[in-house]
């Protein structure tokens, strides 16, 4: 079994690119085996006027895990990546799943598992999950090696309103206090710079107690794009596999810039229809591997 194997627990949509539909292709291009658990199986993402399909419950989730366990697949996962779940029972069970994989790998002398947790709950001031989901994520993040909230999710979980670099640092500190070593707050707008989005990478060393922080900016494309966080998290798993985390963040940011630019150029500008703003994930595979620019990720003093 390879060390490029990921259990990806996210949504599935028939049409468009969010969740596992957005994450699987980039990861596979990078040579990863992606074992997907589809937490929901829906016609399209929830921004559209109509949404049809099925949502998994805890029994369905544990049934799939029973199958994976019985065939002895669980110890093969070098990575667990979680995205949209929106079910507090399943979110709570993920911690046990990660612990089980960790223990099995330890017994077999394999490298420790790395758990990337994207606590998908909402964006731009709109929570699309129940309060019990928030509570479940507050506990789950303690088990994650890396969390990748957007500014809104970071604010909800930490109760620190992320509105500038200082507040982003404070919010990241909350995650460190819970036990998460690495936090990426993927984007927030700066009052004095409306043409860019800023991000924060915060790395806490539990042994020394020290925290290294980095920041940078990307060009802001007017309008809302869905699936950006999902492609980002998948790309981060892939780049962090063989790069230091700050460089991996810069590359994943670069991938998103190329992808949004490609989407805009093919008619998906800020004011276009939702459907034309579906990320063009398959349009230029080489750019997913080699972004045209690697965004600078600068250490903070």
Footprint of ligand ATP (CB under 6 A): 118, 120, 123, 149-150, 153, 186-187, 197, 199, 218, 220-221, 223, 225, 228-230, 232, 253, 256, 260
The nearer residue to ligand ATP, 17 or 221, going by C-beta atoms, is 221
Min CB(5)–ligand ATP separation in Å: 22
Min CB(89)–ligand ATP separation in Å: 21
User: Of these residues, 76, 118, 230, 258, which one is catalytic?
Assistant: 230
The nearer residue to ligand ATP, 7 or 85, going by C-beta atoms, is 85
Give the residue nearest to ligand ATP (CB): 229
Which residue in the block uniquely carries the two structure tokens 């990575």?
79
Min CB(197)–ligand ATP separation in Å: 5
The nearer residue to ligand ATP, 95 or 297, going by C-beta atoms, is 297
The nearer residue to ligand ATP, 16 or 149, going by C-beta atoms, is 149
The string of DSSP letters for 51-107 reads: --EEE--HHHHHHHHHHHHHTT-GGG-SEEEE-----HHHHHHHHHHHHHHHHHHHH
Min CB(230)–ligand ATP separation in Å: 5
Write 161-168 long-range contacts (CB < 8 A, 24+): 162/188, 163/188, 163/191, 164/188, 164/190, 164/191, 165/190, 165/198, 165/200, 165/215, 168/198, 168/200
Is 72 catalytic? The answer is: no
Q: H helices within the chain, ranges in order? A: 19-29, 58-70, 88-107, 131-140, 151-158, 165-178, 228-242, 245-265, 285-289
Tell me which residues are annotated as active site: 230
């Amino acid at each position: 079994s390879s060390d490029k194997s990921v259990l990806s627990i996210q949504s599935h949509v028939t049409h468009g690119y969010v969740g596992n539909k957005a994450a699987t292709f980039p990861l596979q291009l990078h040579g990863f085996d992606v074992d997907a658990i589809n937490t929901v199986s829906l016609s399209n993402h929830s921004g559209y006027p109509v949404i049809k399909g099925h949502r998994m419950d805890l029994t369905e989730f544990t049934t799939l895990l029973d199958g994976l366990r019985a065939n002895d697949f669980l110890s093969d996962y070098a990575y667990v990546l979680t995205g949209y779940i929106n079910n507090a029972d399943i979110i709570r069970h993920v911690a046990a799943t990660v612990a089980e994989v960790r223990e099995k790998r330890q017994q077999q002398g394999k490298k420790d598992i790395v758990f990337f947790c994207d606590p998908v709950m909402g964006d731009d001031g709109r929570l699309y999950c129940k309060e019990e989901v928030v509570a479940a994520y507050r506990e789950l993040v303690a088990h994650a090696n890396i969390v990748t909230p957007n500014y809104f999710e970071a604010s909800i979980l930490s109760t620190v309103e992320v509105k500038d670099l200082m507040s982003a640092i404070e919010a990241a500190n909350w995650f460190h206090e819970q036990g998460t070593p690495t936090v990426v707050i993927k984007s927030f707008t700066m009052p004095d710079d409306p043409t860019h989005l800023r991000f924060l990478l915060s790395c806490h060393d539990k042994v020394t107690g020290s925290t290294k922080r980095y920041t940078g900016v990307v060009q802001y494309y007017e309008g809302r794009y869905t699936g950006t966080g999902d492609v980002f998290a998948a790309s981060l798993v892939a780049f962090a596999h063989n790069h230091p985390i700050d460089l991996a963040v810069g590359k994943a940011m670069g991938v998103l810039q190329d992808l949004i630019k490609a989407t805009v150029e093919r008619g998906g500008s800020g004011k276009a229809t939702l459907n034309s703003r579906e990320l063009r994930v398959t349009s230029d595979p080489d750019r997913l591997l080699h972004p045209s620019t690697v965004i600078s990720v600068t250490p903070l003093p």
